[in-house]
Structure 1
Amino acid sequence: MSASLLAAMACFFTATPTHAAEINLLNVSYDVTRELFKDINPAFIAEWKKTSGETISINQSHGGSSKQARSVADGLEASVVTMNQANDIDFLAEHGLVTGDWVKRFPNGSAPFYSTMVYLVRKGNPKQIKDWDDLIKPGIKVIIPNPKTSGNGRYSYLAAWGAVIKKGGNEVQARQFVEKLFKNVPVLDAGGRGATTTFTQREIGDVLVTFENEVQLVRTEFGDNFEVVYPSTSILAESPVAVVDKVVDKLHIRKQATAYLQFLYSEAGQDIIAKHYLRPRSAIAAKKYAASFKPVALFTVDEVFGGWKSAQKKHFDDGGEFDKIFSKK
């Protein structure tokens, strides 16, 4: 075979396209969204295949929100992060992984859904737990994950503190209340799902404080063994999302990662979100699933604590209010 023919064949095989390589995304998320993304991911994969012709696979990583953020900062190559507090994405922005204006990249402050903190109690509510004041009564065991590693724990802490403020209390009274509350916490799990396991399977505690969607999923799984209790007031718990710029640009997958997060805002995505007891932004989905979401007076982190950065510095940084409170436990 002549050298010229070999060269021509080499050019032919080099130029002939093969099947496009599958595109892989990694969604690093918080603890209690496992079930949500089990439904979101195949819906997006099918939609993206239909509209673009590309085949995508999506892997998930779950854990305490702040712990997950640290893993990404330490090198876990997340394409996107779907967290439960803005503070964790700000942390990634400070490490140069996410653009500083991430909150403006998607609607609603880049939070496609939200939740709030409610209570899960055992069948019949034997300890008659109805509001925040009941959680500090002697002998009540409260299950809350660690606010140092879990956004779930942070929201629970801030919801309790803010409830005192919203009732007209001052900072000293709020601190005293939260100190009493954590004296009633027998174990601090690293994340929200671990706390749920402690309460439901290890059967520790009288009440679990966690996200509304988590308690509803427990009710679905365990039936009549548990009841949901809504406090008179609670905190608005938004779930922000962001593309991890440094990773998607390195892997050339920005278009796909952005489309994935945009899908969360679509009517199809919002419908799935509402089915999982997460409060949607879509008016259509909110109306359709209105029976799933009990009205509750909500306050924001900005309103009571001056924003997440202020709350983090005062309450959760090393040597902050939580460390001082927990040292007295």
Structure 2
Amino acid sequence: IDEISSKGKLLPANWQARLPNNSAPYYSTIVFLVRKGNPKAIKDWDDLARPGIKVITPNPKTSGGARWNYLAGWGYAQRKYGSTAAARDYLVKLFRNVPVLDSGARGSTTTFVQRGQGDVLLAWENEAFLAVNQLGKGKFDIVVPSVSILAEPPVAIVDANVDKKGTRKAAEAYLRFLYTPAAQQIIGKNYYRPRDPAVAAQFKAQFPNVSLFTIKNFGGWAKAQSVHFNDGALFDQILEDAKK
């Protein structure tokens, strides 16, 4: 949405301030989907860097979801080891364990769930629940790491579009509805974490407590993109070292 704002000029730069919670009516986080019984005893981020563990995750260069995966791992390593260099070394070990980088999250889910490749899938929590409860019932478990990232899927009005089509009132009403208790119930039932405290309390058993850091720890998305994901930035360097 920032790209639509900055390059397309179709909505204002402060679009995220127009609705509560950074215009994210629900949130998720990054968890591990493992084979039933967790045969490789994967419990936290360090286990993903162990020799012989096959990790399935998409390519952060082509997948927005994969960028959350990468940043979740980076944030964990920087917290635990205390330096950028140590976090970089950790990510090199992790990506050395990635046998295939699919272009998107759905492709990685297919690789892990349907093709049976890998020991662990880095996944949005809602996707992991979907795999456990619907795509492969009885075949997978979810492992919630000790720390992860607050993943926020935002919503926004694209001013140029709604004004051109005369749909502003309907669009604004729909986005406001997403924050109501009725919508928050639907959100929880579809495995996203509700923002409404009363509704969230009803889903407490479904969503384990996890320590979450945010994109602000990386200076925001623009800085994270520049430091980590632009051509020649940290991810490209990490991937090159992982091939050695």
Pick the aligned partner of 2:115 from 190, 194, 202: 202
139, 147, 170: which is aligned to 1:256?
170
Q: Residue type matched to 1:114 in 2?
A: Y
Matched-pair contact (CA < 8 Å) for 2:81–2:87: no
Secondary structure, in 3 states, of the residue corresponding to 1:160? helix
- Unaligned 5+ residue runs, structure 2? none
Greater Rg by CA: 1
Superposed CA deviations along residues 121-154 of structure 1, whole A, max 9, x for unmatched, are 0011111111111101111110111111222100
CA distance in 2, matches of 1:239, 1:274: 14
Q: TM-score, normalised by structure 2?
A: 0.95
Tell me, what secondary structure is at the counterpart of 1:180?
A: helix
**Residue identity matched to 2:29:** T
Structure 1 runs of 4+ with >4 Å offset: none
Q: Name the structure 2 match of 1:14.
A: none
Instruction: Please give the per-residue CA displacement for 1:94-129, whole angstroms capped at 9, x wherever unaligned.
Output: 121222110111111111111110000001111111
- Residue of 224, 235, 245 corresponding to 2:138: 224
Please state whether the residue corresponding to 2:156 is helix, strand or coil: strand
Matched, 1:127 2:40: yes
Q: How much does 1:262 deviate?
A: 1.4
Identity fraction in percent: 56
- Secondary structure of residue in 1 paired with 2:164: helix
Partner of 1:292: 206
Q: Deviations over 1:167-197 (max 9, x none)?
A: 2420000001111111111111222121111
SS at structure 2 position matched to 1:154: helix
Counterpart Cα distance in 1 of 2:96 and 2:194: 35
Matches within 5 A, 1:232-243: 232-243=146-157
Structure 2 residue aligned with 1:173: 86
Per the alignment, in what secondary structure is the counterpart of residue 159 of structure 1? helix
**Relative contact order higher in (CA < 8 Å, ≥ 6 apart):** 2
Q: Distance in 1 between matches of 2:78 and 2:169?
A: 44
Structure 1 stretches lacking a partner, 5+ long: 1-88
User: What is the CA-CA distance between 1:327 and the residue it aligns to?
Assistant: 2.5
2:197 to 266, 283, 286: 283
Distance 1:282 1:205 in 2: 36
Structure 1 residues 50-199: aligned runs within 5 Å: 89-95=1-7, 96-199=9-112
Q: 1:247 matched to which residue of 2? A: 161
Aligned length: 240
Matched, 1:273 2:184: no
TM-score, normalised to structure 1, is 0.71
Equivalent-residue separation in structure 2 for 1:245 and 1:293 (angstroms) = 35
Q: Which has the higher strand share?
A: 1
AA at the equivalent of 1:318: D
